[in-house]
Amino acid sequence: MFWGLFGLAGPARAAGFNGRSQGRSRPRIALIIDDIGFSRSRARAFLDIGVPMTFAVLPRLRFSESLAFEIHEQGQQIMLHQPMEPFNASLDPGPGAVFVRDEPEKIVATVRENLEEIPFVVGANNHMGSRFTASSKKMSQVLPVIQEKGLFFVDSLTSGRSTAFRTAQSLHMPTASRNVFLDNRREVRAILGRLNQLRRHALTRGHAIGIGHPHPETSLAVKAFASSLDPDAVDLVHVSRLLEPDSACS
């Protein structure tokens, strides 16, 4: 069972996870690639890089299930990328979304169906969801469905008003928050700058989570970044590795 809690700006708040202070040899970076399921070729561009990454798969898309099998066969990690309602009503979060207006029974059924559709999931994070994650009441209806499967939740922090991380903490479930969005600007140089920001955060805090998307510019930047890392200084890991007890991480 994974455990350990940490947020956007600080080290872990639970005993047993506080960066390098308990003998960890190197800081750790976890890269999450969101929005998987639309394109096989774009997902494979990241698989071909050959470093640990976690792929957040959208439910109910043409390639969602088959890509989950392919990602798993490559030894990579899979999360459910759960669509949630944004503040901007003109944005469509896609199939399998949950909305603030939904009754609790509908939310539970939707999330359960999404989890059952995608094989090999070990956790979940939110797709969009600025409005939904701002409601601790609604997050308290989603998170127990994820928790009952023994999974963790990563708050993508699509809004500074998100309650997802705090609500997961209150439920005593494994949780974490995104530190850096990598590709708000779809330029290789800009993405490399964000990756280096992520590296600096990891060197300071002992750990960092970056979220990117299946854009060609992002895969090129991640490939260059991974090849430039000093393997004796920083480890690229699956996100679950940041939620393990120290005894399993040493």
* Residues 168, 155 contacting (CB under 8 angstroms): yes
Does residue 8 lie in a domain region? no
| Separation between Cα atoms, residue 53 and residue 191, nearest integer Å | 16
Scan for tokens 């708050």, then name that residue: 155
Does residue 20 lie in a domain region? no
Does residue 164 lie in a domain region? yes
The whole-number pLDDT of residue 231 equals: 84
The whole-number pLDDT of residue 55 equals: 98
C-alpha 129 chain-centroid distance: 14
- Phi, psi torsion values for 232, nearest 5 degrees: -90, -5
Does residue 104 lie in a domain region? yes
Does residue 18 lie in a domain region? no
Beta-bridge partner residues of 207: 28
Does residue 13 lie in a domain region? no
Structural domain including 35 reads 26-249
| Separation between Cα atoms, residue 197 and residue 208, nearest integer Å | 10
Within the chain, which residues score under 50 in pLDDT? 1-23, 246-250
CATH code at 122? Answer: 3.20.20.370
The whole-number pLDDT of residue 27 equals: 96
Query: How many domains would you assign to the chain?
Result: 1
3-state secondary structure the chain: CCCCECCCCCCCCCCCCCHHHHCCCCCEEEEEEEEECCCHHHHHHHHCCCCCCEEEECCCCCCHHHHHHHHHHCCCEEEEEEEECCCCCCCCCCCCCECCCCCHHHHHHHHHHHHHHCCCEEEEEEEECCCCCCCHHHHHHHHHHHHCCCCEEEECCCCCCCCHHHHHHHCCCCEEECCEECCCCCCHHHHHHHHHHHHHHHHHHCEEEEEECCCHHHHHHHHHHHHHCCCCCCEEECHHHHHCCHHHHC
Q: What is the pTM of this model?
A: 0.89
Does residue 75 lie in a domain region? yes
Does residue 15 lie in a domain region? no
